[in-house]
């Protein structure tokens, strides 16, 4: 799933009422921002703390601003992998689940039918010389691409 600018901007709002389990001392990133980044990454297909942190690092300045990252010396900073992991382990799962369900009700996809399509990429060879194949799942009504996977075909 690709998050729109409006979805990114609103995502932290869904986590403001979750109690922060961290000590006040040394908190650099707000809890809604950390949770919004983690959930945004997961919605975009990331799995695991490293993938979530890598996704956060790859965000551009506008996306970082929309997710309300803290600003230091004119640049928006994202939380590290250890901060994301610490927050995700310590936050109450029921609070997180309730907030994510509210977001899903507001922004969840409205597709009841999906289309699966595949293409073989011309001149796109992996290191073994096999052609690359791309499969996508797209919603009929919203035309949203839910997921896209790349694999090398075997001869």
Euclidean distance between CA atoms 104 and 126, whole angstroms: 37
Euclidean distance between CA atoms 137 and 19, whole angstroms: 36
Sheet containing 145-152: give its strands across.
114-125, 131-139, 145-152
Euclidean distance between CA atoms 145 and 141, whole angstroms: 11
Would you say 22 and 31 are in contact if contact means Cβ atoms under 8 Å apart? yes
Q: What does the DSSP 8-state code read for residue 72?
A: E
Would you say 91 and 39 are in contact if contact means Cβ atoms under 8 Å apart? no
Q: Which two tokens stand for residue 113?
A: 């039918």
* pLDDT given at position 63: 92
**Successive 10-residue mean pLDDT values, the chain, 155 residues:** 80 91 86 92 86 94 93 93 90 86 77 75 72 76 71 56
- Each domain of the chain, given as residue ranges in start order, spans 5-107, 114-152
* pLDDT given at position 50: 93
Q: What does the DSSP 8-state code read for residue 13?
A: G
Query: Would you call 139 helix, strand, or coil by DSSP?
Result: strand
* pLDDT given at position 44: 83
Among all chains, which residue has been given the structure tokens 């922004």? 107
The rounded Cα 144 to chain-centroid distance in angstroms is 15
Who's near 106: CB < 8 A, 6+ residues apart?
10, 14
Residues forming beta bridges with residue 76, ordered by sequence position:
71
């Amino acid at each position: 799933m690709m998050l729109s600018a409006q979805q990114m901007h609103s995502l932290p709002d869904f986590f403001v009422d979750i109690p922060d389990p961290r000590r006040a001392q040394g908190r650099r990133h707000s809890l809604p921002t950390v949770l919004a980044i983690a959930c945004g990454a997961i919605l975009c297909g990331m799995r695991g703390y490293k993938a979530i942190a890598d996704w956060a690092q790859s965000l551009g300045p506008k996306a970082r601003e929309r997710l309300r990252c803290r600003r230091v010396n004119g640049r928006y900073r994202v939380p590290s992998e250890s901060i994301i992991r610490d927050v995700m382990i310590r936050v109450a799962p029921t609070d997180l689940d309730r907030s994510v369900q509210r977001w899903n009700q507001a922004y969840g996809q409205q597709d009841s039918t999906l289309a699966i399509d595949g293409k073989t990429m011309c001149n796109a060879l992996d290191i073994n010389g096999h052609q690359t194949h791309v499969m996508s799942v797209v919603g009929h009504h919203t035309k949203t691409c839910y997921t896209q996977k790349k694999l090398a075909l075997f001869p």
